[in-house]
Amino acid sequence: MSDNAHRITTVYHDLALRTLEVLRVTRITPRMVRVTLGGPELAGFIDQAPADHVKAFFPAPGETEPVLPLLGDDDEGLVFPDSPPYPISRDYTTRRFDREAGELDLDFVLHGSGVASVWAEQAAPGQKLGLAGPRGSVLADLDFDWYLLGCDETGLPGVSRYLEILPEGAVAKVFVLVDDAAEEHHLETRANADIVWLHRDGRAHGDSDRLFTAIRDLEFPPGVPYVWIAGEAGELRPIRRHLRAAGFDREITDVDGYWKRGTVNLDHHEPDEDDEEETVAG
Ligand SMILES: Cc1cc2nc3c(=O)[nH]c(=O)nc-3n(C[C@H](O)[C@H](O)[C@H](O)COP(=O)(O)OP(=O)(O)OC[C@H]3O[C@@H](n4cnc5c(N)ncnc54)[C@H](O)[C@@H]3O)c2cc1C
């Protein structure tokens, strides 16, 4: 497949730090919770692309205020203190930003342990959450011949956003890995999208080959695709290899490990063992 680098544009934004307030908490499914944030510091927030993401800063256990890092000069980015209290952060996709309403939604997977999951489970209006970013936006053209979208729950906010912006007639093959039917929900789209929900059937998160086998068995539509897949790093490895072996152009094939089994706060900018590609910071 031909080089399509020119069809992807990355836009960088000035980094800003914010402390926002929880306005609402909505249970989307048994294991996914939507936290709607707002407050005066949301002013000037930028959200441009489906995979835009922020660093969320959580209050330490027993505390109510999140500790934020400092903003460094120029390109220095975030500066973390070398003594306590340390900021506690995790990456989250901006699921919805409504400038007029002054609302920002983040969707959290409740996976049982981990600062972010535990915080989301108890989140309530009036609580505080810190945010940095988005640092950049990756804008893919919306006229690719077809789109291959895949994810587990952590990538579902991004896949949902892609589906929402794809125009009528766009061809999308979509695979979503969740625990069971209770985790499925309606995904809004005008595209000609085949959405397949895959179930773990009791397998642990990060220990399923369902996403890989579904993509391996897919008969690719003709033409040039844009690929966006996010989920557990180990589960994505065979998918990345499969797509490369099939000749998919790296520039238009974004397969991003959003978390890794057994790893606290995976840094998704660290290249995976077979992935030297850079991803955009958040
Ligand atoms: C760019 C980007 C965008 C992301 N967007 C979202 C998003 O919108 N919504 C979302 O829910 N997540 C999203 N993630 C993933 C999220 O940042 C990680 O899952 C994060 O590790 C969760 O933090 P935690 O404190 O709950 O768990 P950690 O403290 O980081 O980890 C504790 C343990 O839980 C495991 N673990 C982490 N995540 C999961 C999981 N999903 N299922 C099962 N076990 C897990 C870890 O392997 C570790 O063993 C995104 C990640 C990236 C890089």
Rounded CA separation 259/1 (Å): 29
pLDDT tens for each residue of 191-214 = 999 999 999 988 999 999 999 999
* Mean pLDDT value of segment 158-165: 98
Q: What residue ranges do the domains of the chain occupy?
A: 5-9+140-259, 11-136
More confidently predicted of 169 and 73? 169
CA-wise closest residue to 95 among 187, 214, 2: 187
For ligand 1, is residue 258 a contact (CB within 6 Å)?
Answer: yes
Rounded CA separation 82/47 (Å): 31
Residue 220: phi and psi, rounded to 5, are -65, 135
CATH architecture of the region 5-9+140-259: 3-Layer(aba) Sandwich (3.40)
Closest residue to atom 19 of ligand 1, CA basis: 259
* Mean pLDDT value of segment 140-161: 97
**Token output for 269:** 């900018």
Q: Indicate the DSSP class of residue 204.
A: P
Rounded CA separation 103/96 (Å): 8
The CA distances from residue 178 to 44, 143, 144, 157, 255, in Å, are: 34, 29, 27, 13, 18
CA-wise closest residue to 230 among 137, 157, 171: 157
Look at residue 4 in the predicted model and tell me its pLDDT.
53
182: number of Cβ within 10 Å: 11
CA-wise closest residue to 35 among 23, 17, 52: 23
* Mean pLDDT value of segment 163-174: 98
Look at residue 93 in the predicted model and tell me its pLDDT.
98
Residue that has been written with the tokens 């959003």 in this structure: 258
Residues 6+ apart with CB under 8 A from 30: 110, 182, 183
pLDDT tens for each residue of 56-107 = 999 998 899 999 999 988 778 899 999 999 999 999 999 999 999 999 999 9
Look at residue 73 in the predicted model and tell me its pLDDT.
84
**Distance from the alpha carbon of residue 258 to the mean position of ligand 1, in angstroms:** 7
For ligand 1, is residue 91 a contact (CB within 6 Å)?
Answer: yes
Look at residue 245 in the predicted model and tell me its pLDDT.
96
**Distance from the alpha carbon of residue 57 to the mean position of ligand 1, in angstroms:** 13
For ligand 1, is residue 107 a contact (CB within 6 Å)?
Answer: yes
CATH architecture of the region 11-136: Beta Barrel (2.40)
**Token output for 71:** 């903003």
Confidence of residue 279 (pLDDT cuts 50, 70, 90): very low
For ligand 1, is residue 58 a contact (CB within 6 Å)?
Answer: no
For ligand 1, is residue 113 a contact (CB within 6 Å)?
Answer: yes
For ligand 1, is residue 34 a contact (CB within 6 Å)?
Answer: no
**Does the pLDDT at position 19 exceed 80?**
yes
Q: What is the CA radius of gyration of the chain?
A: 18
Asked if 168 and 191 touch (Cβ cutoff 8 Å), the reply is yes
Closest residue to atom 45 of ligand 1, CA basis: 111
**Does the pLDDT at position 155 exceed 70?**
yes
For ligand 1, is residue 263 a contact (CB within 6 Å)?
Answer: yes
For ligand 1, is residue 205 a contact (CB within 6 Å)?
Answer: yes
Look at residue 268 in the predicted model and tell me its pLDDT.
85
**Distance from the alpha carbon of residue 236 to the mean position of ligand 1, in angstroms:** 15
* Mean pLDDT value of segment 246-256: 95
Handedness of CA 119, 109, 280, 278 (dihedral sign): positive
